[in-house]
Chains A and B, each alone.
Chain A
Amino acid sequence: MPASPPAAGRDDGLPKPWGTIIAFLLPALTLYVGFTAYPAIRTLWNSFHRVLPRREEFIGLANYVELARDDIFWRAVRNTIVWACTSPLIEVTVALLLALALYAKVPGARFFRVAWFTPVLMSYVVVGILWLWIYNNDWGPVNVAMRALGLGAWTRPWLGDPATALPSLIFVTSWMWVGFNMVVLLAALHSLPKEVIEAAELDNCGWGGKLVFVILPLVRATLLNLIVLSFIGKMKIFDLVFITTKGNPLWATETVSTYVYKRAFEWTTFDLGYASTVATVWFVIVLATVLTLTWAFRQREKLEY
């Protein structure tokens, strides 16, 4: 019997062991339908209803109309999108610089790599509490260091000031994820063919030239991949805000995730319908942006080397 290629996919016309196939897939599909597909559809259904603890009533598009005029929601959307657009760029840029430094064979590269990766292993709860302290107005290291450097006039409660709260939290997520991006980029750099880089060196290409014309195009796919991944992560951000600011001050750090949580479980309206509407609209926005990004970033021409 000729060995068939391992690629799964289209029907090859042979009789199928349907019993076996169903037995293998059933547990996963049951869990998927029960805990992902059904809840997602139910959220959509909820969004057209007022959902109170003991009764539900159909209210058509009323929730959507209210949403369009909900200033807090649009504030949360703006905050989340600012977060999702700035953080990935900071992360990837710093990570690329660090990865290039380690790629240049500095002593202790292995140690640096392992140390920098640490923050991403911690939960947002742990990270959030740590940075609450770091930003503390009276004794946080940030303000202490600034006073020591004679910048006392610039100190402030970083998370309590509407002007600095969101940037301060964006900084925290970047701090957390740089190491992760660095490790992935370093792996991509190490998998580059040595000959190409050596050829560039022979052509008397300086470090800057080598970076822009040789290395960046070669790791382009990885870079874009990391940006999309980080973007998706920031569109979901919840824990960090919930632990540190709860969306305060004055909704300066409200994200869509925290707003959904508050509307569903903290506001005394007890209406799950409106929160479901927010979730549904946000779901559509996230899906649309991610698909657009993936489409825009798709590899137009495959680089051969």
Chain B
Amino acid sequence: MAIVRRSLLLIALALYTSFAAGPFVWAAMMSLRTTTEIHRNHFAFPNPAHWDKFSDAWFKSNYAVYFANSVQVVVVAVLILTVVGAMAAHCLARYKFRFNRVIYFILFSTIIFPPQITIISLFQILVQYGLYNSKLGLTLVYVAIQLPLTIYILESFFARIPADLFDAARMDGYSDWEIFWRVALPIALPAVATTVILNFILLWNEFLYAVVLITEEANRTLPLGIQRFLGDTQEDVGMIATGLMIAIIPVIVVYAFFSERLIQGMTAGAVK
């Protein structure tokens, strides 16, 4: 009886797994088949596998540009976020001063803001300052939208570092900056890694701000490129699937190596 129940449970779990992961396997198969092959049978294995579709997408359909733009915007944004966010978080956790909690609360409450409240004016502001339709503008906006969550996660970690450590460092003649850079930051490395991963994934997938603030082909990030490609070639299912895989593969590669870290990063803040 117990064995029957256990195998039923396992079958149910296997079914759910194919439901959760099936769409990606299907897309991966289609990414190696031509649209003609796909329309003959939508659920067949790629035989033969058309690997050249990837180089076609990369060179002929501009995915190389989209990919480079995404990497540039996201990497720079994550770097700025990490340094600026850690500085603010360290300051809020370490120094006692008037308005400390007020600043913390204002930053923290921004997490629930719907993006619409800023996006229309951001469009106006970036146009005014010549940052509209530029990677720099999008990068700065990305830093701003992820800053509250970054500070929130890092602050709670910095706050747990015992103050004795800082007092000892001060007696050793460390300056305030050195205490942050050489003492606090290295200790907080696990939390920093968490925010780096979280910000990377969220910004790599970001679409709303990009679609409002970027219009030029040369500045499109991957999600925008895919969307444009979908609009241009509704019917070319095979090529769109290849484009999807180009966007998915970096995430899958990172996930394959750091699945635990990634899960931890994504769920940070959800667990109290």
Contact = CB atoms under 8 A, between A and B. Distances in A.
Contact of A28 (B10, B101, B125, B151): B151
B97 A21 contact: yes
A114 B259 contact: yes
A226 B112 CA distance: 14
B201 A121 contact: yes
A31 B120 contact: no
B119 to A, nearest CB: 8
Given A122-B251, A261-B212, A275-B120, A9 B93 contact: no
Contacts of A204: none
B27 interface: yes
A43 B117 contact: yes
Contacts of A43: 116-118, 120-121
A148 to B, nearest CB: 11
B115 interface: yes
Interface of B is mostly: helix
Interface in B73-129: 84-85, 87-88, 90-98, 100-101, 103, 107, 110, 112-125
Interface in A102-160: 104, 106-108, 112-126, 129-131, 133-134, 139, 141, 144
A96 interface: no
B120 A125 contact: no
A38 B120 CA distance: 12
Interface residues of B, number: 93
Interface string B181-218: 00000000000000000000100111110011000000
Contacts of A265: 123, 212
Given A17-B95, A122-B251, A188-B271, A6 B90 contact: no
A24 B120 contact: no
Interface stretch (A194-202, A209-217, A229-237): A229-237
B50 to A, nearest CB: 18
Contact of A187 (B124, B159, B271): B271
Nearest to A279: B116
Contacts of A129: 226, 230, 240, 244
A28 B24 CA distance: 38
Contacts of A279: 114, 116-117, 119-120
A125 B220 CA distance: 14
B164 to A, nearest CB: 5
B159 A8 contact: yes
Interface of B: 6, 9-10, 12-13, 16-17, 19-21, 23-24, 26-27, 39, 42-43, 84-85, 87-88, 90-98, 100-101, 103, 107, 110, 112-125, 140-141, 143-145, 147-148, 151, 159-164, 167, 176, 180, 201, 204-208, 211-212, 223, 226-227, 230, 237, 240, 244, 247-248, 251, 255, 259, 262-263, 266-267, 270-272
Interface of A: 1, 3-12, 14, 16-18, 20-21, 24-25, 27-29, 31-32, 34-36, 38-40, 42-43, 46, 51, 98, 101, 104, 106-108, 112-126, 129-131, 133-134, 139, 141, 144, 175, 178-180, 183-184, 187-188, 221-222, 225-226, 229, 232, 235-236, 238-239, 242-243, 256-257, 260-261, 264-265, 272, 275-276, 278-280, 282-283, 286-287, 290
